[in-house]
Every structure is written in C-alpha cells, then in structure tokens.
Amino acid sequence: MNEPMEFLYPSKWLTKASTGERVVSELRMQILSGRIESGTILSENKLAAEFSVSRSPIREALKILSAENIIRQERMGAVVIGLSEKEIEEIYDVRILIETFIYQRLVRSDITDLVKELNKILEMMKVSIKYNDADEFSLQDLQFHETIIRAANHSYILMIWNNLKPVMEGMILLSMRKRFKENHQDFERIFTNHALYIEAIEKKDKTLMIQSLHQNFDDVQGRVEDMWKSQEILAEGGGTK
C-alpha cells in the first residue's frame, strides 16, 4: 500500500469539504472504478490507516456508502458490492421511474423558469464540450436532471434522487472521461438529446418526452423499452373509479 495515491474524485469539488466528505467521495470512486474490487472486505482500521485519518470520518463514510448500496456492513468488516451490469440497469430503472413521474407533475405547472434554467445548463454543456472538460460536463448533465426533479417540488422524490446521486455522479464521471477520449462525437449527441428533452417539457408534448427519455437513457443502457411497456400495461386496466 505504498504506491503514490492517485485521486479519482475531482479535488476542486472538495474545496470546502470535511475530511469525512473527502474520504467518502474518494472511496466511492475507487469502488465504482473497480480499483477496489467487489467482494473486498473493508476494515475501518485499515481504511483509517490508508487515508491517514481517524476512524470517525471512516465510519461516517461506510455508513453513507452502505445507504447507497455499494457496500454492505456486516458484523466484521464491510463487504464491497460495487456496480455490476445488473446494478447499473437497476439505477436506470429508478431514474426513468422518477423522471416519468416528475414529468407528469410538471405538465400541470408553470415551467417557464425551469425551461430558462435548463437552457442555461445546456449552454454550459456546450462550453464544457468545447473545452474538453469531461468532469464539468458530467456535473452539468447531473445538474440538468436534478433541476427538472427539483422543479416538481416533491421532497420524497428528491430524497430518492439524493440517495442515488453520488453513485450516479461517480458512474457518469468515469464514463464521460472515457468517452471524451474515445468517443468524442458522443457529446454532440448527448447535447442534442438534452435539447430535445427541454423541448418536450416546453411543449408539454408527451410523445416527444417519451422519445427524449428514450434517447437519453437508451444510449447509456438499452433499458427504456421495458419501462414503457410496464406503464402501458398498467394503464390498460386503468379506468379506475
């Protein structure tokens, strides 16, 4: 354990962060990236030694990571779960679930401010692409979706988002960094998809919304189809009361 440590989490995002927050961010990235393999057993004492901090912030970190479902705390040591293909699909299930829910709420409310805000983020995404800043782009991608979710003013849906967000952030960071090198043309497409997303919200056009959700999530995982099928089936029987 004496190799010089290379940090995976952007240090500039941790300017005001406490030791505990640094630990949890870095530990999460190491798990998501596979640097710490799933199945590994984490000991509070060892981690404290490796990070050169006391057990207090480590304990805090392990509690958080276990609430995020990427580790599992047992009697002796915490077992790393990590993210397999299955877990990633599941995360996108949840994202689609909450975003479709939120969309329905938004349709009924005034969304002029939201649309303005989303366009601002969209322009910032463009700048990130121009300057090849994968980390910044990831942040804006997340910010985009969070802004939509916040607009619905639903504290428990927001709670779900907050519980999911750090893992999403890590995944997206790693994925975007890779794509910036290998598939740079992806970003124009992601950009266009988000523009479509805004249009769907602005026009309150369901068909467009479905299409854009498709495009936003299909390219990451081929998962939207099933979701919609579920909701169609449910609705078929839905002439309730």
Partner DNA sequence: GATATAATACTTGTATACAAGTATACTAAA
Partner DNA sequence: TTTAGTATACTTGTATACAAGTATTATATC
CB of 205 to a copy of itself, least distance (A): 8
SS3 132: coil
Nearer to a copy of itself, 121 or 151 (CB): 151
In sequence order, what DSSP letters do the residues of 51-102 get, joined into one string?
HTS-HHHHHHHHHHHHHTTSEEE-SSSEEE----HHHHHHHHHHHHHHHHHH
Residues in contact with a copy of itself, counted by CB under 8 A, come to a total of 48
Encoded one letter per residue, x for contact with DNA by CB under 7 A and - for no contact, window 38-57 reads -----xxxx------xxxxx
What are the tokens at 144?
A: 């985009």
What are the tokens at 37?
A: 């393999």
Instruction: Please tell me whether residue 122 binds a copy of itself under the rule CB under 8 A.
Output: no
Nearer to a copy of itself, 90 or 199 (CB): 90
Q: What is the C-alpha to C-alpha distance for residues 4 and 165, in angstroms, rounded to an integer?
A: 29
> Given strand 41-42, what is the order of strands in its sheet?
41-42, 78-80, 71-73
Nearer to a copy of itself, 4 or 237 (CB): 237
Site for a copy of itself in 204-233 (CB under 8 A): 206-207, 209-211, 214, 224-225, 228-233
In sequence order, what DSSP letters do the residues of 9-50 get, joined into one string?
S-GGGGTT--HHHHHHHHHHHHHHTTSS-TTPEE-HHHHHHH
Instruction: Please tell me whether residue 87 binds a copy of itself under the rule CB under 8 A.
Output: yes
Nearer to DNA, 35 or 46 (CB): 46
Instruction: Please tell me whether residue 60 binds DNA under the rule CB under 7 A.
Output: yes
Instruction: Please tell me whether residue 18 binds DNA under the rule CB under 7 A.
Output: yes
Encoded one letter per residue, x for contact with a copy of itself by CB under 8 A and - for no contact, window 27-66 reads ---------------------------------x--xx--
